[in-house]
Structure 1
């Protein structure tokens, strides 16, 4: 330990932690720690514990703050670090944290002098000229932002000035300003990337060359060149990585939590997901309810689970006008620019009439119409998946359902439905049976019965959609029994082999894919696409 040098501690040794180790190491004595023991193999100087913290003047928190499944930022790693700092200490948080987090952390850890600072070290591998070249080396950053109390910011700036020198800009601001600006920047980059990828598709639609259009567009000096190239055309489009997706999720979720719905950013996120995944998918369209003669609950439309017959016809005609033909799943996989097919989930009563219309109007082949049947819906009128929840919500029983599951209501009805869905589909079959017995309802009026299902088999291929319409990645032993039982029931009823399985909610993993193959299915339909006939992505119709 060099007593002549001031000491700095870095917690977290990913991209950011390593960059700051390089930034500080020649001017201070720097200690670094990461809770991933395998990193010690590559970086022998990493400490075995955080014991050094009591001897350092400044602690940098560079731990990951990933997105949780609900979109919230996972702050657990930040808390683990701060909980281990027992005495008064100057702490700079370089991890991306949601607005108001530093304020909240300061109240929980009042002995710490917390300052947050957005970081711009990136994952990109291509060359950037000055002044954009600070994404790899901290010392090249033209400005540094510090959000916190004035005295604390000034104390940290002294450390930075010793390395970065007098030509940089050192900006002191509030904690919230510093927190929001990082999310604003990454959200803008995400928007710009999505915008350019969208226009690449538009160029293809009109026979224009995106690279040429881009150069013409960039003649306007008000537009900068960064984030305008289309990367990974042979793989995923748009943006991925560790920063943009989770930061976009984070600011959307945090804003909603505090009363604002960021609809524009939500559309950017949705567009990115669609562009990335749709680039790989065959043209197998996914539909649920089709409004034809019978009235359909408005919830289905609000949840984007229903369209009118005219809209369905518009989809079909748009494909036919572009030269596509009705084809089988195999044809759609083998020649994705030539064939398309339609899939209809859950066995709703109107599907039979729709099948007749499609065959009469478009001469649609039987193998180009796939009807995924949830066996308990169609044959037993029990455990009717999300449809039971929709029915009960229509009857004003949403509060009763939340109380049953011991969940907390939030102001938005549609978001309450999503909360219920995510909880409901993760239940095991026994719990779902108990729920059905508690809230029993007759939904036979919206589903095909066995007689109509047999008739439907004359017009399209019948696929198994399991029994309970739950997430099959949960409670795997039950899931496997359910897959087999649903196949056996349908084959016995229809006296034909069922070759297609459709994962409820599109939820699947490698173990389920392997089991579906072992069970004797030829294809398995999902939402997200992988290069396997047991993970075939479908294009959810934009409703």
Structure 2
């Protein structure tokens, strides 16, 4: 019999996760909004695997707000019976270990790589499933769960810190790529280059990839906005500074974005 799955948070990440696993698993969803819930909190966490898919919004100073995740783990204290807890929310490296130590439970990282506009499609067509666990047996259990539903996915298995950093690295690289292309567009316009041909020639090199190239972007605006890129770029830059490293490249990408957005 396949494992049961609980999902805390019924936003686009939680909803896509539930939708993706329902064909093969019993899935329970709890959200503070009753309309997004299928079960109570107690019923949801009484599952073999519990995915935590709650927001991690930025504070006014752009540092990450973990208060919602903290409140989830506080509520879990009296419901622990050996479940696998996985954080899908975007959290800074070290968060899973912090939660594990603080609440006395094993927490794994399983970051999402979804766009809000097509989250369900992104989930079932993911380039990879990243599983971060500090316990080899737990990582195997999580991979087995995914393979019950997706038997042809590429898996990247690593520790929690590396898994968390993979998510930030991807998002911040894409944000930097957007800023870079916007800067090239400024020069292209100034000197009368053919922008469409430039993009065609640039993306014809298979090393480049054709994502995050459009200027203006999908929202019709220059630079990057949305919920993820500004938050994640600034959070990672803060982590750099806290470790006495100057994030020169990312700082430049952010400064360019502020000028054109």
Instruction: Give the alignment's TM-score, normalised by structure 1.
Output: 0.45
Aligned residues of 1:199 and 1:210 also touching (Cα < 8 A): no
More helix by share: 2
Match of 1:159 among 145, 152, 169: 145
Match runs of 1:468-487 below 5 Å: none
Query: Could you tell me which residue of structure 2 aligns to residue 97 of structure 1?
Result: 91
Match runs of 1:422-437 below 5 Å: none
Match of 1:257 among 242, 245, 258: 242
- Give 5+ residue unaligned stretches, structure 1: 126-133, 277-543
- Structure 2: how far apart are the matches of 1:215 and 1:235? 20
Aligned residues of 1:256 and 1:262 also touching (Cα < 8 A): yes
User: Is 1:24 the counterpart of 2:17 in the alignment?
Assistant: no
Deviations 1:302-359 (A, max 9, x none): xxxxxxxxxxxxxxxxxxxxxxxxxxxxxxxxxxxxxxxxxxxxxxxxxxxxxxxxxx
Deviations 1:359-410 (A, max 9, x none): xxxxxxxxxxxxxxxxxxxxxxxxxxxxxxxxxxxxxxxxxxxxxxxxxxxx
Match of 1:247 among 209, 232, 235: 232
Q: The residue matched to 2:50 in structure 1 has which SS?
A: strand
Instruction: Give the alignment's TM-score, normalised by structure 2.
Output: 0.91
| Number of matched pairs | 257
1:232 Cα deviation from its structure 2 partner: 4.8
Query: Could you tell me which residue of structure 2 aligns to residue 10 of structure 1?
Result: 7
Query: Could you tell me which residue of structure 1 aligns to residue 106 of structure 2?
Result: 113
RMSD value, Cα: 2.1
Aligned residues of 1:90 and 1:152 also touching (Cα < 8 A): yes
1:233 Cα deviation from its structure 2 partner: 8.8
1:196 Cα deviation from its structure 2 partner: 0.8
1:147 Cα deviation from its structure 2 partner: 0.9
Query: Could you tell me which residue of structure 2 aligns to residue 172 of structure 1?
Result: 157
Aligned residues of 1:147 and 1:173 also touching (Cα < 8 A): yes
Query: Could you tell me which residue of structure 2 aligns to residue 220 of structure 1?
Result: 205
Considering Cα pairs closer than 8 Å and 6+ residues apart, tell me whether 1 or 2 has the greater RCO.
Answer: 2
Match runs of 1:34-433 below 5 Å: 34-37=31-34, 40=35, 43=36, 46-47=38-39, 49-86=40-77, 87-88=80-81, 89-110=83-104, 112-124=105-117, 136-148=121-133, 149-165=135-151, 167-232=152-217, 235-276=220-261
- Structure 2: how far apart are the matches of 1:140 and 1:75? 29
1:163 Cα deviation from its structure 2 partner: 0.3
Aligned residues of 2:127 and 2:153 also touching (Cα < 8 A): yes
